[in-house]
A and B are shown apart, each in its own frame.
Chain A
Amino acid sequence: MRSLFVRIFVSFWAAQALFIILAILVTIALNPARHGVESRAPEWLAEAVNAYQTGGERAAHEYLETIWHTEHIRSFLFDASGKELSGRHVPPWIEETRRGATFNHGWLSGLMPERIKRFALTLDSKRYTLIIELPPGPRIFLGPPHDFPGLGIAIAIISSGLVCYLLARSMTRPVTRLRQAAQSLAAGDLTARTGAPAGGSRGEMIELMRDFDRMAERLETLVESQSRLLKDVSHELRSPLARLSVALGLARQRAGPEIESQLNRIELEADRLNQLIQRLLTISRLESGADGLHRRRFSLRELVEQVAHDAEYENAARPCHVAADQNDEFQVEGDAELLGSAIENVVRNAIRYTAEGTTVNVQLERQHAANGDVIVIRVSDSGPGVPEEALARILEPFYRLDDARNRQTGGAGLGLSIADRAIRLHGGQLRASNRKEGGLEVEMRLPAGPGFALPAHS
């Protein structure tokens, strides 16, 4: 699976390098400078020899220099013994050619015609040899001319590589930025943007980035307005309740014992209203995802023990027993308030339904798994349990088993929904099942480490 960057980079680079290399080779092959030299070289040889014989080394040198200036062809004159007669320094490859070496380029010979040529002349029974070096095509060989233009090709590859790298980067950078912004947005940062410049250059990529930014802005506005609505609603709902509470307090101040039970009833209903509003708002907030979780590391054992203690405190007839390894803190990372509410809802439910005189058991356990530890909280009661068909439904908001019974024991059917959602928000799972011995068992599983979610399975 190759990334976009790699594909762009490699294909452009290959294309460019190939092009350059072919250009070099074709130029060499088609170098027009080569024509005509073959026919004139013998002439040059004759005149060089003549110059030497009349003027010696200096004259030969002068003559060969002339050829260099006019034709850009380097030449060397040798006598039979191998001595260079114009006094020039003989590069090693020339020397080797004089000795008879030829340079074989193997399968490239067709593309690389000889650039070094030998011509021989015998005069007065002395043998003279002229070796000429043809100019290279493009001046990029930078090395002994008979060699495979390795260095030149290396430079071609490197420079084209650099160009293509920059090109690929500029094309994939917007994609990377878009991905980063999208990921931030999905993770909850509603202010994430790609940072595309507002005016100026158009081009599909920039346009896409601008479209994304506009979409993100709309999202941010929507979520913020929903959040604000929630806050306003909660404020509006609380104001009359606040007044009601104080008025009730006033009534109690003045009332005699004869209406105390009615006042108690009013207080109870007001409390229920308050609780209901509270839970409704919590569930809305969880659903819309408008609220950020306040994550921190804390001891789940401490939390569970506190919740159980409080629940027991309010329901002396139904004790709540917590069983957990005291040496294990059961550290988790998450929103302590939310998880506390969730566990509290489950525990209160258990207490509400368990038979009088029985104990609600809360068990904390750590399970080891391949990709991290899982902490399991198991709340079991000795109540009537839940009919099998309804087990899946009790997690739905407002679902209650038995209307009449629930009005007596209180509760609007939201507690478990909140618990379920809160646990899931932390990457965990909640499951309810009936115990063999009778009663309900609610199991909450949470990842012990931050971040990862438990695999979804039934």
Chain B
Amino acid sequence: MNKRMERILVVDDDVELCGLVEEYLTAEGFSLKAVHDGELGLQQALTNEFALVVLDVMLPGMNGFEVLRRIRSVSKTPVLLLTARGEDVDRIVGLEIGADDYLPKPFNPRELVARIRAILRRTKPTKAADATPEVLKVGDVELDPATRTVLRAGQAVDLTSVEFNLLEVLLRDAGRVVTRERLVNSVLSRKFMPFDRSIDMHVSKVRRKLGDSEENGDHIKTIRGVGYMFARPTLRVKK
């Protein structure tokens, strides 16, 4: 089986660290390119030859967030942010701008690989082996797992891969509450930590992109203390 090696772009100004990461990831079956400043990183990311970008937030010159913003303005390439441990601001801002996930430094390289794999797994369209995945339709929202597109009242909605996965999970269980824990496990592929608000960030982004439903409310309802639910439209009783 000839597995095409996934190309990963690493943008970090720590040259030595990049060298070590390259060695590690190559041994894990990835093909890597490392650049050490924001401008170059942006350039490379926009060539679209990479399956994923690992981006350090603390870059000199054009800072990581700016690079992320510019990437997001034209591309849906998944981005994993490397943040400083304990700086919640980094996480929140990063997710706001559109990062798919984050990993604080210093990190265990095994964790890095796990998260990269999780993101890539979600990005790939579902294989034909699965029975023709049917289009999910609830209210005015339509989600097609095969083409990974979302329509709202006929209009296309632009979602990142993580946002897409999140919406898919909620839609499959529309009308029922999905716990935050389950969302973090299945969408972000990691263990649910007590103070982790990244899933809430992703939910609010999806909400914003979907806009209000026909019934003048959010499509996604917050169930406090438990999780989120995609609301089914209420049946209209004809008088």
Contacts and interface: CB of A to CB of B under 8 A. Distances in A.
Which of B21, B86, B107, B194 counts the most chain A CB atoms within 10 A?
B194
B194 A303 contact: yes
B27 interface: yes
Contacts of B58: 235
Contacts of A234: 84, 86
A294 B27 CA distance: 42
Interface residues of A, number: 31
Interface in B105-128: 105-110
A358 interface: no
Interface string B1-41: 00000000000001011001101100100000000000000
Nearest to B105: A242
B109 A245 contact: yes
Nearest to A313: B191
A243 interface: yes
Interface string B38-78: 00000000000000000000100000000000000000000
Given A242-B14, A243-B14, A249-B110, A337 B195 contact: yes
B20 A250 contact: yes
Nearest to A344: B194
A26 interface: no
Given A253-B24, A337-B195, A340-B195, A246 B17 contact: yes
Contacts of A302: 225
Interface string A316-331: 0000000000000100
Contacts of A231: 84
A246 B110 CA distance: 9
Interface string A91-130: 0000000000000000000000000000000000000000
A242 B86 contact: no
Interface string A237-266: 011011111110110010000000000000
Contacts, number: 65
Contact of A294 (B21, B88, B110): B88
B85 interface: yes
A310 interface: yes
Residue of B24, B106, B110 with most chain A CB atoms under a 10 A cut-off? B106
B20 to A, nearest CB: 4
Contacts of A246: 17, 20-21, 24, 109
A243 B58 CA distance: 15
Interface of B: 14, 16-17, 20-21, 23-24, 27, 58, 84-86, 88, 105-110, 193-195, 225
26 contacts: A231-B84, A235-B58, A238-B84, A241-B105, A242-B105, A242-B107, A243-B16, A243-B20, A245-B106, A246-B24, A247-B20, A249-B110, A250-B24, A250-B109, A274-B106, A278-B85, A278-B86, A281-B86, A282-B86, A306-B194, A307-B194, A329-B225, A336-B195, A337-B88, A337-B195, A340-B194
